[in-house]
Structure 1
């Protein structure tokens, strides 16, 4: 098995003497094409945003991170941050942990990186550890009403059956009772993912954990044929919802061999610009909501143009922050958009900001009557807050977030955003 690691926009050489053969590359490209629709990306043969670009002697990664794994090769695509591969892998895991609600306390990431485990192995190990932790607290179950003729009373007596069908039978009692079963939709989904990961993992500790989890899931049946449905949850099973989301992710992105020649493989991929936006959103919601802020992701309800009173060209900024300005009902509004790209240095007055992004933010300002607009970018350097103003005086800020340490960035992000939007009015 060939294991290769590349960064966003990085290249992988192809050829008999290179790290990847043409046949292995074709398998990865085929897998990428099958995974593209779920990410709303184009196949490698079409123009537009893609997972991989196929060159004559090279493959080039795009702005997608994660892992593509076939039987003969695994390609790991890591964020373009200023860390070694182990560090970048760990930082990506920490970003996914925020977005997907992963519990990192169950795994020694530093120790696993030292052993050079792939991103796929890390994600499988995290799932296995979290699953077993929850199952040890008790597996989901339900009770089914059963009727049976027994020698001793169990549950309650079925009086009608006892004095009709069993009339005169002194050796049998018509019993009606509830029987506990593990065969629930939640357990079926978790069991299917566990069986899949047992086939995929090469890490002994993960295999051991998954095997124990299967014991707790004994009695759960197979998933029904067809698209995987996300189960419903009640108060007793709500703690399994994040695990079920991850189980469905593994199952949905595992591709079987087909009669048309497609090979089996797994593709766990994330658009880096979307992941960055979701990471910022989750952290701001977590820290600013208790302070009285309304954090609205993908805010809608506004249009750029109108025809006969009907809006056309809907606008949808990444984030809108609102909070009461005073006790009289006035509110302050701030519009933010995230961009997973690096800005140019201060020597360039435009900093490499796209002109279309500027026009878009101006449209957001007008539509939401915003007190400020902010573009958020990653940086491998220090925090930078570049304050500009629009023609009518509205603050227009370029905020560069240090991404070398995702855990530290997560703690400082909310305060940095509040600083960037120009000082917060405190309610009297």
Structure 2
């Protein structure tokens, strides 16, 4: 007889796992559903908790839920860096010194601390910030138009523009804000928490960013070169950490990643790096009245029209190496709408792909490709680069002719 799951078991979930029955309040279950990390469905004996495509951790009061990724927390952070274009950020297993099953938010916080110690060893970077001020004495540059329109010719106070030499720069705002949201995550080690608080005190002059607001732009220069990797990590942190208010006064904190979206973003970015003709998530009308639409994950337009279509699937093929009927139906529809004779399914598991599916009654042949998400960044780039070569119209036509002659 299986033991009944407890609330503490929610801290040790793995991707794709289900726990039942779990004792939760209705408010707690609603908060977990809002977080999207897991699904909480009421059943006869309690709540059925299912972890699907999201990984990470969320906390509501004393309830903590963690979902460990199948490919390991360090690898997920590598993929996030690739998808977000943080090319200066290298995630090294030996440097982070964590196990593959380590908590994703804990790995992120430790990596941030290590990068901050290196980048800010010589102290925080100051910079000039230009701002408009109203002052009793002349400082900076007088704004004559504003002086006339606002003060009607009076000489006091003065409308001026000042270049401040300050810690309150876009770079330091990003770093401090990332440190503060990391501090709100559950399960931080005392060492990591101490370093994050020290970082907050060091940059206390930098204004904290408003949650949900657009991140400030910064320009990579020679002066801030030592901060590039840390800034990439700070932006990654702020994009994926959420602080959400629920219906009650308790706040939900969490760092979570949708692995299906992450896989799609990685393939889209790496394909576009090789061939800029690729675009992601293009919405097109399906019927004449435009009441139905399609939204392929990836389409290629070389300037003469649509030349290729592909969809990413964050799932493995079945034991026989076959794809689901629904995936084939989807690509056949895309091919019919775009006037293409071939469509492509890209799965997030390594191995040998099955031969193309030639759909009876149509001109469409659906090819299957497999990308190994456990590969190193260099190997992953090489895989997608090789895939891009097979998806060009010339290679596609050759594959179809070979399939027809077989």
> Do they superpose with TM above 0.5?
yes
The SS at the match of 1:312 is: coil
Structure 1 residues 5 and 288 mapped into 2: Cα distance closer, same or farther (>3 Å)? farther
Cα distance per residue 1:112-133 (max 9 Å; x no partner): 3239641111122334455666
Determine if contact 1:144/1:180 at 8 Å carries over to the other structure. Answer: no
Hey, what's the Cα distance between the residues in 1 that align with 2:58 and 2:75? 19
| Match of residue 401 from structure 2 | none
Determine if contact 2:371/2:383 at 8 Å carries over to the other structure. Answer: no
Give the Å deviation of 1:385: 4.5
| Matching of residue 286 in structure 1 with residue 262 in structure 2 | no
| Match of residue 125 from structure 1 | 110
| Match of residue 170 from structure 1 | none
Cα distance per residue 1:152-176 (max 9 Å; x no partner): xx8799xxxxxx999xxxxxxxx99
Equivalent of 1:65 in 46, 55, 58? 55
| Match of residue 105 from structure 1 | 90
Give the Å deviation of 1:368: 1.9
Hey, what's the Cα distance between the residues in 2 that align with 1:123 and 1:180? 31
Equivalent of 1:321 in 290, 300, 313? 300
| Matching of residue 304 in structure 1 with residue 286 in structure 2 | yes
Structure 1 residues 389 and 418 mapped into 2: Cα distance closer, same or farther (>3 Å)? farther
Tell me which structure has the larger Cα radius of gyration.
Answer: 1
| Matching of residue 35 in structure 1 with residue 62 in structure 2 | no
Structure 1 residues 382 and 140 mapped into 2: Cα distance closer, same or farther (>3 Å)? farther
Give the Å deviation of 1:313: 0.9
Cα distance per residue 1:153-210 (max 9 Å; x no partner): x8799xxxxxx999xxxxxxxx996432334566455434423423546235533543
Equivalent of 1:388 in 354, 357, 373? 357
Determine if contact 2:264/2:312 at 8 Å carries over to the other structure. Answer: yes
Hey, what's the Cα distance between the residues in 2 that align with 1:421 and 1:156? 57
Hey, what's the Cα distance between the residues in 1 that align with 2:184 and 2:192? 11
| Matching of residue 78 in structure 1 with residue 50 in structure 2 | no
Determine if contact 1:28/1:69 at 8 Å carries over to the other structure. Answer: no
Equivalent of 2:237 in 242, 246, 249? 246
Unaligned ranges ≥5, structure 1: 16-21, 40-49, 82-86, 158-163, 167-174, 325-329
| Match of residue 276 from structure 1 | 263
Give the Å deviation of 1:9: 2.6
Cα distance per residue 1:277-312 (max 9 Å; x no partner): 1121122122333xxxx0111123x322113xxx33
Q: Give me the CA root mean square deviation.
A: 4.3
Give the Å deviation of 1:338: 1.2
Structure 1 residues 343 and 248 mapped into 2: Cα distance closer, same or farther (>3 Å)? closer
| Matching of residue 372 in structure 1 with residue 351 in structure 2 | no
Equivalent of 1:197 in 155, 167, 182? 182
Structure 1 residues 29 and 187 mapped into 2: Cα distance closer, same or farther (>3 Å)? farther
The SS at the match of 1:29 is: helix
Hey, what's the Cα distance between the residues in 2 that align with 1:213 and 1:92? 25
Hey, what's the Cα distance between the residues in 2 that align with 1:398 and 1:223? 44
The SS at the match of 2:371 is: strand
How many pairs align? 362
Equivalent of 1:9 in 13, 16, 36? 16
Cα distance per residue 1:5-59 (max 9 Å; x no partner): 32233123556xxxxxx25x867634323324xx9xxxxxxxxxx6344553552
TM-score by length of structure 2 reads: 0.71
TM-score by length of structure 1 reads: 0.68
The SS at the match of 1:180 is: strand
Hey, what's the Cα distance between the residues in 2 that align with 1:274 and 1:322? 22
Hey, what's the Cα distance between the residues in 2 that align with 1:205 and 1:116? 20
Structure 1 residues 177 and 5 mapped into 2: Cα distance closer, same or farther (>3 Å)? closer
| Matching of residue 114 in structure 1 with residue 88 in structure 2 | no
Determine if contact 1:6/1:78 at 8 Å carries over to the other structure. Answer: yes
